[in-house]
Structure 1
Amino acid sequence: MSNPAPDAKASRKSLATLFFCTAMPMGMWSVPLANVFNAHGRGHLVPWVFATTATAAFISPLFVGALADQKHSPVLLLRWLTAATSIALFLTCGSLAWGWSDAAVLICAQLLALAALPAWSVTSSIVFSQLNNAKQQFGPLRAWATAGWMVGCWIVSFVLRADASLVAGVTAAGLWLVVMSLTWRLPMIPPGEIVHHRTWKQILGLDALGLLIHRDHRVVFLTAALYCIPLAAFYPYTSRQLHDLGVQNISAVISIGQTTEVLVMLLLSGLLARVRLKWVFLSGIAICVVRYSLNTINTLPSVMFGTLLHGFAYTLYFITTQIYLEERIDPKWRVRAQALLAMLMSGVGNLLGYLGGGWWFAACTEGKITNWPRFWWGETALTAAVCVFFALAYRGRVRSE
């Protein structure tokens, strides 16, 4: 099968399918991961497996982003990455099934993280490159990724009934090969700027740090990292709070947030056409302040309503950030810009969020009783501080620009 002509544009249907199919195996493995490891007697490895993602975030996104911007087509890179992700995920499942040592399991998990993490930023860059108006077109397309994640979770729970089974991982590995096959239906996008003799700094993608020289770029990137610190508490600790409140179908309640995420993405283009970027950014962080303050009430209705706000809190900042990078960054740097965002979010922000959140949770827990109002007030204060920082530091453009 040959690739479409280089100057062709992928259809909206192809891009939506790419997002949907890329997110589906991610959800199928990420959500049941802890239960799968526990079922195979490796529950003690779960924190270390999550740490492999943070470790990979400091290495692979910028390295792959540099390749996409300076050496190879991002479509070709995505093809390699999805094949590598499929193999690494199969090996990770096999290492559990075949009783390999803890070290061998973690090595497989680290290889999986190194391959899977940059695949997402490369996918986003491919989609952006095919759009004529990112503000209007990206939100509805990105909603298909959230839908794919949700469908993947539903397949694991209701079709495969594999919430604690390696069947979830093996199925996800197969779906990564489906994503690889989709790359043959995409135009072979050229790299932003072919560089034949690259320095080590360029090879590793470290030259992307030069984007931080621009004041607004720096504020947007740093806020993304800082915002991820309190945001990392949402999934692990909202689930525990719901459990303490007697909720049985916790995953179903948490999925309310993803439902609103889809809704906001569909409405985002209209919002960006009418409102300055600064206020869209700020509204997302401010809504997160409200969301966490609702959790301090520690009642089921307040926590559920707070969860409902997750889609607004996430989309209005992070999806808008991706659109900002597409519009404000020189085309030859765009893949590296998305990669730098992934590194700061998944590496710096999430790592500090998981470690700091774990410390704060322990400080708010005595015996087996957690002081949830105290815990969430701490997260609320941290989120409010991020909101104030962005409000004071970001300048932006006036509407006439």
Structure 2
Amino acid sequence: MDELRTRGRVEVGGLSVLFFLHGAALGMWFVPLSTVLDAHGLRAIKPWAFAASALAAFVSPLFFGAMADREASPVKVLRGLALATSGAMALASTAISLGWPAWLVLAVIQLHALCSSPTFSLSSTIAFARLADARKEFGPIRAMATLGWAAGCWLVSAMRADTSPLAGYSGAVMWLVVAAFTFVLPAEQRLEPAGKLSWRERLGLDALTLLKNPDHRVVFLTAALFSIPLAAFYPYAPPHLRELGFQRTAAWMTLGQVTEIITMFSLGALLLKWRLKWIFAWGLTFGVLRFGLSALNSKAWLLSGIVLHGGSYTLVFITAQIYLEQRVEAAWRARAQALMTLMTGGVGNLLGYLGTGWWFSRCSRAGGTQWPDFWAGLAVAAGLVMANFLAAYRGKRRTQGVGEKSGPL
């Protein structure tokens, strides 16, 4: 028993370090990207630069998720992608620094997105495979990614690199650290596929059968639709902060990570006490309030909205990941998590980055951006998503289908 407990603590410790490093690598690129592009005369490509990750999410997560389910250990797949992401991020930072043509900068950013897009669902798959009770244990481990994200942002601001390609170079180094750390993690033996795989199975498209379950479908669609207004957070909250007089915007943005961490540590207890429907509902409610407070257009209210972002994100998206782990068979989990990445990072973010980019241009005037109109419109959109979820989700056990686990919801 003592040996099992010790091994469990070692597993949790290793996973916590992996998520911390992974979160730092992601945050050091994604948060300062908006202000880096603005500072180098690339504001026009900003909606497309953020949409690059969404386009990548249509392709690479399902492909690499299927590979991790059937052909290679998720640890080895993550290692290769971390190395590729490091190289692509360094190249993108060089392109921005040297003033390459905007289309070429965007192409390199797209290459980076193709490499990085599947990585977080793979890390989650690695974690779920090693946890005895994901409802209790995954929240604190996932919180380490948020802490790493915040630490990466603080490091960027400490280096005064909020508007510099140095942020990207630092992130590239962090990805090398992630790749090196994967050698510490034991590589799982994958189940051998029965028979020859079809092209549909190799691409991971068989994961779409999970959408036949009504509750699965509502969870996937809610997460995707909620991603649309949330996509405005990182492209437009930092410029709003700068307009209100804040300088180290990457550091101020980490206020959202504070509540995210608190909520993640609380998530295990919430999942044991509350129905999933009401956990989702509270997350969606926080999203509506988050945009509504930002619409008041003052320092205090904008910071309050940023603080609410963390709780909203956790109660919707992390709960959705745990839902899939609890309801989907082990042989399908990497593909299920990858499908969630496609729905949120692909469908939701693509519509979100382009749609909120259009909405931002509609709210921009000669005298400046009409921030109250911009954020209020997003609050309405989030409210519609919440109303649809409350009307559509039932949470009742239905006939067991392909890839589904039996048992209580």
Normalized against structure 2, the TM-score is what?
0.89
Distance in 2 of aligned mates of 1:131 and 1:219: 26
**Alignment match, 2:30:** 30
Q: Are positions 1:200 and 2:177 aligned together?
A: no
How big is the shift at 1:30?
Answer: 1.8
Question: Quick check: 1:68–1:192 contact (8 Å CA) kept in 2?
Answer: no
Corresponding residue of 2:67:
67
Distance 2:178 2:371 in 1: 41
Kept in 2, the 8 Å contact 1:74–1:190? The answer is: no
What one-letter code is carried by the residue in structure 2 that aligns with 1:392? Answer: A
Within 2, Cα distance between the matches of 1:202 and 1:387? 33
**2:60 partner letter:** S
Q: 1:294 to 1:10 in 2, by over 3 A?
A: same
Letter in 1 for 2:150: M
Change beyond 3 A, Cα 1:193–1:265: farther
Mapped to 2, the partners of 1:393 and 1:359 lie a distance apart of 29
Post-superposition Cα deviations, 1:65-120, rounded to whole Å, max 9, x if no partner, equal: 01011111111101111111112222223334555554443332222111111011
Equivalent positions of 1:78-89 (< 5 A) are 78-89=78-89
Change (3 A) 1:397 1:45: same
The whole-number CA distance in structure 2 between the counterparts of 1:106 and 1:254 is 24
The residue correspondences of 1:254-265 to structure 2 (distance < 5 A) are: 254-265=253-264
Deviations 1:245-267 (A, max 9, x none): 44445444332111111111111
Instruction: Write the letter of the residue equivalent to 1:184.
Output: F
Conserved in 1, the CA contact under 8 Å of 2:291 and 2:379?
Answer: yes
Q: Which amino acid aligns with 2:373?
A: R
- 1:380 positional shift: 1.7
1:98 and 1:250 map into 2 onto residues whose CA distance is 24
Distance 1:98 1:343, change over 3 A: same
1:331 aligned residue:
330
| Farther-moved stretch of structure 1 (149-158 vs 131-140) | 149-158
Matched letter for residue 23 of structure 1: G
Aligned equivalents of 1:44 and 1:376: distance in 2? 21
| Deviation by residue 1:335-378 (Cα, 9 ceiling, x = unmatched) | 11111111111111111112221222233333234433333332
* Contact 1:76–1:188 (CA under 8 A) maintained in structure 2: yes
Deviation at residue 234 of structure 1 after TM alignment:
2.6
SS at 2:254 equivalent? helix
- Correspondence list, 1:146-185, <5 A: 146-158=146-158, 160-185=159-184
**Equivalent residues in 2 for 1:2-401 (5 A)?**
11-97=11-97, 100-158=100-158, 160-192=159-191, 194-195=193-194, 197-397=196-396
Distance 2:28 2:261 in 1: 18
User: Comparing 163-172 with 36-45, which one deviates more in the overlay?
Assistant: 36-45
Secondary structure, aligned partner of 1:29: helix
Q: Give the SS at the match of 1:164.
A: coil
In structure 2, do the counterparts of structure 1 residues 177 and 254 end up closer, same or farther at CA, with 3 Å as the change threshold?
closer
Cα distance in 2, alignment partners of residues 371 and 38 from structure 1: 19
CA distance in 1, matches of 2:145, 2:207: 26
Q: Distance in 1 between matches of 2:96 and 2:243?
A: 31
In structure 1, how many angstroms separate the alpha carbons of the residues matched to 2:339 and 2:408?
Answer: 29
Distance in 2, Cα, partners of 1:111 & 1:21: 21
SS in 2 for 1:11: helix
Q: Deviations over 1:118-142 (max 9, x none)?
A: 0111011101111000010000011
Counterpart residue number, 2:402 = none
Cα 1:42–1:302 shift into 2, 3 Å: closer
1:4 aligns with none
Q: Distance in 1 between matches of 2:117 and 2:84?
A: 11
Q: Supply the AA of the counterpart residue of 2:145.
A: A
Deviates more, 1:69-78 or 1:90-99: 90-99
- Which letter does structure 2 place at the counterpart of 1:91? L
Q: What is the CA–CA distance in structure 2 between the aligned matches of 1:240 and 1:220, rounded to whole Å?
A: 32
Percentage of pairs with the same residue: 47
Q: Distance in 2 between matches of 1:99 and 1:248?
A: 24
Deviation at 1:167, TM superposition (A): 2.7
User: How far off is 1:184 after superposition?
Assistant: 1.3
Q: Letter of the 2:252 partner, please give it.
A: V
**Cα distance change, pair 175–245 in 1 and its aligned pair in 2 (3 A):** closer
Give the CA RMSD over aligned residues: 2.4
Q: Which runs of 5+ in 2 are unaligned?
A: 1-6, 398-406
Q: Distance in 2 between matches of 1:180 and 1:212?
A: 33
Query: Compared with structure 1, are the counterparts of its residues 38 and 355 closer, same or farther at alpha carbon in structure 2 (3 Å cutoff)?
Result: closer
Q: 1:41 to 1:373 in 2, by over 3 A?
A: closer
The amino acid of 2:284's aligned partner reads I
Q: Is the 8 A contact 2:157 2:251 kept in 1?
A: no
Q: Tell whether the 8 Å contact from 1:71 to 1:191 is kept in structure 2 after alignment.
A: yes
Contact 2:31-2:234 at 8 Å conserved across structures: no
The Cα offsets for residues 21-77 of structure 1, whole Å up to 9 and x where unpaired, read as 111121112222244445555454433322321211111001000101111111110
Runs of at least 5 residues in structure 1 that lack an aligned partner in the other structure: 1-6
Q: Tell me the number of residue pairs that the alignment of Structure 1 and Structure 2 aligns.
A: 394
Larger CA deviation: 343-352 vs 296-305: 296-305
